[in-house]
Amino acid sequence: MLEAIGARSIDDLFAPIPAEYRLNRELKIPRQMAESEIVDWFQQRSKENGSEYASFLGAGAYMHYRPVIIDSLISRGEFLTAYTPYQAEISQGTLQAIFEFQTMICELTGMEVANASMYDGSTAAAEAAMMAVRVTGRSSVVVAKSLHPEYREVLATYAHHQGMPLATVGYADSGRIDPKELERTITPETACVLLQSPNFFGTIEDVAAVAEIAHNKGALLVVSIAEAVSLGIVEPPRDADIVAMEAQSFGVPVGFGGPYCGVIATREKYVRQMPGRLAGQTTDRNGKRGFVLTIATREQHIRREKATSNICTNQALVALMVNIFMNVYGKVGLRELAKQNLAKTAYAADQFGKHAQILFSAAPRFNEFVVKTSEDPYVINGRLLGHKLVGGLPLKKFYPELGNAALWCCTEMTTRTAIDTAAGMLAESEAEEPSGDRAVEEVAR
């Protein structure tokens, strides 16, 4: 091939790189490994990563069962190794799948249009807030303190250079957003109210009431949904103007935090302010139904610095996992699945409530609840680890005002045995007088 090109050596082809910058040694990285060695190396890492533990962690990353056909289907090379479907004639598989995904997200969220995906729930929430700013021509955002703390951090990062002031509204004793404080915080410059439901504590918000407060003052309502399975049995936020969702619960591995699947859904009238790719239906020259990426004039490759967002690559293959999951459970199964989550959580909250305080019990919840103990939850979790159980997320780091509180999560995967074991350990610890001199084992961040 060199001969065909007319080059004497490979180095000839790299002549454009000034000699003084060329690397004249091998890279200092691990040596080439055989496939068997690679599998072995990662198997070791897998074992060092809690592969034998049952977990009560949720907080934006939920362990639900993943039907096996998800991986069978997404492993097909035609889905796995295809690019963004810009060449519609040879991408109809991906495009039709996106169109169906958009449809199902609309059905579930009560919105009229949904995009093809965003990076995750946190960036979807931040981009939804920026979208509300474009729609209303107002500048600021009112955000619930019960929105996932890491989503709030991402929002703050994005807002910082957008001239988008943020105001935070606290939660009431019910765990829901404080309506009086919300009234007071919305100003004529508020573009939107951003809250999560079920919120970070698992509490289901009264979306209709919040929508009324926001709309009366000319602001939009953006609802973030981090636990998609809730949509099987919890009324969707039909009064919202934008829904910013994390669909990880629908068949996506917890996977140490990613890749996940963000989505934005909204009203038809706002579609041209929406970020991200959209698939639309059209016809070919013979009148046959087909699908294309559409309304691309919002996007960076056309509009450059005037685009609605800089997003290009999204989470397409993960959206396909979500899509397949929604098909597997469908209209009836999603409700039954959500009902099992509800039952496990109700049982766990009852059991834990015998020995410790369950906060925010006045409002309904989905699959998470906050347990307040007299003992430091890090210490309790340290003991649970010995029983191959990972306890709830201590909330001190995010909500110091809640003291020794932890966020526990149950899904259909949580067994009664695990719940009973954890409740038993909690009973033991709460029966004892908390001793100040016990060394706190730092088991979480």
Partner 1 sequence: MKHPTPKATRHVNQNEGLIFEKSSPGKAAWKLPPLDVPEVDPAKLLGKAERKDLGSMPEVSEIEIIRHFTRLSTWNYAIDLGMYPLGSCTMKYNPRVNEVVARLEGIANGHPYQPEKISQGALRIIKTLSDCLLEITGMDAITLQPAAGAHGELTGLLMVRAYHEAKGNPRKKVLIPDSAHGTNPATAAMVGYAVENLKSNARGMVEVSALEAQMNEDVAALMLTNPNTLGVFEQEIHKIAEILHAKGGLLYMDGANMNALVGKVRPGDFGVDVMHLNLHKTFSTPHGGGGPGSGPVAIKKMLEPFLPKPVVISKPDGTLGFEYDRPQSVGRVRSFYGNFGMFVRALAYILANGPDGLRETTEDAVLNANYIRKGLEGTYDLPYATPSMHEVVFSDKLQTKKGVRTMDIAKRLIDYGFHPYTTAFPLIVPGALMIEPTESEGREELDLFVEAMKSIAQEVEEDPQTILDAPHTTRVSRLDETAAARKPVLRWKPA
Q: Which of positions 336-395 make contact with partner 1 (CB under 8 A)?
A: 336-337, 339-340, 342-344, 346-347, 364, 381, 385, 390, 393
Contact 199, 144 (CB under 8 A): yes
C-alpha distances out from residue 79 to 119, 135, 142, 175, Å: 18, 35, 40, 42
Sites for partner 1 among residues 386-445 (CB under 8 A): 390, 393, 412, 415-416, 419, 443-445
User: Judged by CB under 8 A, does residue 146 bind partner 1?
Assistant: no
When binding is defined by CB under 8 A, the residue of 235, 403, 428, 434 that contacts partner 1 is 235
Indicate the residue among 235 and 432 with the shorter CB distance to partner 1: 235
The encoded tokens of residue 42 equal 């990662």
209 belongs to the binding site for partner 1 (CB under 8 A):
no
Closer to partner 1 by Cβ: residue 184 or 238: 238
296 binds partner 1 (CB under 8 A): yes
Beta strand pairing call for 393-394 and 405-409:
antiparallel
One DSSP character per residue, 338-366 reads: HHHHHHHHHHHHHHHHTTSEEE--SS-BS
How many Å apart are CA 248 and CA 120, to the nearest integer?
8
CA distance 247 to 105: 9
The piece of 116-124, 169-177, 179-187, 352-360 that touches partner 1 (CB under 8 A) is 116-124
Is residue 326 near partner 1 by the rule CB under 8 A?
A: yes
Site for partner 1 in 83-112 (CB under 8 A): 83-85, 87-94, 96-97, 99-100, 102-104, 106-108, 112
Residue (182 or 338) nearer to partner 1, CB: 338
| One residue of 170, 216, 269, 282 binding partner 1 per CB under 8 A | 282
Q: Are the beta carbons of 371 and 439 closer than 8 angstroms?
A: no
Q: Please tell me whether residue 42 binds partner 1 under the rule CB under 8 A.
A: yes
Smallest distance from the beta carbon of 231 to partner 1, in angstroms? 7
Q: Which two tokens stand for residue 217?
A: 């003052």
What region, left, alpha or beta, does residue 60 occupy, with left being phi > 0 and alpha being psi -120 to 50 degrees? left
Site map (CB under 8 A) of partner 1, residues 164-203, x = contact: ----------------------------------------
Q: Site for partner 1 (CB under 8 A): which residue of 280, 355, 357, 372? A: 280
User: Given the complex with partner 1, which of 73 and 167 has the nearer CB atom?
Assistant: 73
Bridge partners of residue 371, in order along the sequence? 358, 406
Q: HSE-up of 275 (CA within 13 Å, CB side)?
A: 30
When the beta carbons of 120 and 186 are compared against partner 1, the nearer one is: 120
Cβ proximity to partner 1, 282 vs 374, nearer residue: 282
* In 316-443, alpha helices (H): 316-353, 377-385, 416-431
| Sole window of 64-72, 166-174, 217-225, 424-432 interacting with partner 1 (rule: CB under 8 A) | 64-72
Pick the binder of partner 1 from 180, 303, 354, 438 (CB under 8 A): 303
Task: Spell 311-322 as b/e; 16+ CB within 10 A means b.
Answer: beebbbbbbbbb
**Structure token pair of residue 149:** 């703390």
**Residue 214 C-beta: closest distance to partner 1, Å:** 18
Q: Within a 13 Å sphere around the CA of 59, how many CA atoms are in the beta-carbon half? A: 17
273 binds partner 1 (CB under 8 A): no
Which among 192, 200, 199, 170 has a CA at the least distance from the CA of 182? 170
Q: Would you count residue 136 as binding partner 1 (CB under 8 A)?
A: no
